[in-house]
Chains A and B, each alone.
Chain A
Amino acid sequence: MERKENNILLHKTFHIEGGDFINAGSISDHVKKILSEAGFPNKIIRRISIAAFEAEMNVICYATRGDLSLFITPNFLKVVVEDEGKGIPDVNLAMSEGYSTADEKIRELGFGAGMGLPNIRKNADEMILTSKFRQGTHLEFIIYLDRQETQLPFE
Chain B
Amino acid sequence: MTVFDIVKTFGLQMRTGKDRLHEEVTGGYASDLLSDVIAHSRKGNIWITIQTHPNIVAVATMKELSGIILTGEREPDANTIQKAEEEGVPILVSPLFTFELVGRLYQIGISGMSP
Contacts and interface: CB of A to CB of B under 8 A. Distances in A.
Contacts of A119: 35, 38-39
A109 B38 contact: no
A112 B34 CA distance: 9
Contact of A53 (B36, B56, B62): B62
A53 B54 CA distance: 13
A19 interface: no
Contacts of A114: 35
B40 A154 contact: yes
Interface string B1-36: 000000000000000000000000000000011111
Contacts of A28: 58
Main secondary structure of the interface of B (DSSP, over half): helix
Contacts of A109: 51, 53, 55
Interface of B: 32-36, 38-40, 42, 49, 51, 53-56, 58-59, 62-64
Interface of A: 21, 24-25, 28-29, 32, 46, 49-50, 53-54, 57, 109-116, 118-119, 122, 154-155
Contacts of B64: 46
Contact of B35 (A29, A46, A54): A54
B54 A115 contact: no
Contacts of B58: 25, 28-29, 53
B29 to A, nearest CB: 12
Contacts of B59: 53
B33 A110 contact: yes
B39 A110 contact: no
A122 B35 CA distance: 12
Given A28-B58, A53-B58, A110-B32, A115 B51 contact: no
A113 B62 contact: no
B38 A115 contact: yes
Contacts of A49: 62
A123 to B, nearest CB: 9
Contact of A113 (B34, B53, B55, B63): B34
Given A46-B63, A46-B64, A118-B39, 9 more contacts: A29-B58, A53-B38, A53-B62, A54-B35, A57-B55, A110-B33, A110-B51, A110-B53, A115-B38
